[in-house]
Amino acid sequence: MQKVILASASKAREKLFSALNIPFEIFPAEIEEKAIRDADLKVRAAKIARAKAESVLAKHPGIIIAADSFVVCQGKALEKPLDLKEAFEMLKLEQGQDVLFYTALCYIDREKDIDFSEVSITKFRIRQLEDYEIQAYVKNNPVTTWAGGFSTLYGYGTNLVEHIDGSLTGLLGLPMEILIPLLKRSGLKPGA
């Protein structure tokens, strides 16, 4: 059986994938994400996920799963904040706004001739927050590892969301409604 490889250092993606009960290994992609540009943010996310998958596949044969996520709020693309101050500013911007969360998934299984990419877009709204809530959230969570400085997978994050429209797992960085059928096409049994 082929190795299943998650091309990501994301703890959120690791946690989501672990729930599938499929043995896997983690080999984060070593690419310069900021060098990959495109005016169309959906295309940009897909290009980054593809570059991650191909980078890992070149070194580690197997079924490769790569993803890339970023947030769009008020027309601005928000990637991982550089520091806690920037994470605080991002959450201030996002609160009370409709926010789009793009998650691109790239799945490559050469043995089964599967080479697939798709972008999940989830719209959500973070409720109005008090500054102390934002400060506590930024202080107590690894916000610099998340696009937009936010995740519903850990701690208080779920309590920040007022509304969600779209993929819950896409919002967490790995759209399972797209991934699970691909794993089944590769002959794997998610959840078994």
pLDDT digits over 19-30, tens only? Answer: 999 999 999 998
Exactly one of 68, 115, 131, 165 is catalytic; which is it? 68
Strand partners, 124: 99, 164
68 is catalytic: yes
Separation CA 137–CA 130 (nearest Å):
11
The topology under which CATH files domain 4-185 is: Maf protein (3.90.950)
For 100, the enclosing helix (H) or strand (E) is: strand 98-109
Cβ atoms of 12 and 173 closer than 8 Å: yes
**pLDDT-based confidence at residue 158 (cuts at 50, 70, 90):** confident
Residue 50 has pLDDT above 80, yes or no: yes
Give the separation between CA 54 and CA 72, rounded to whole angstroms.
Answer: 26
pTM of the complete model beyond 0.85: yes
- The backbone torsions φ and ψ at residue 7, rounded to the nearest 5 degrees and listed phi first, read -90, 65
Q: The tokens of 92 are what?
A: 């201030």
Domain ranges of the chain: 4-185
Q: pLDDT (tens digit, 9 = 90+) per residue, 64-111? A: 999 999 899 998 989 889 999 999 999 999 999 999 999 999 999 999
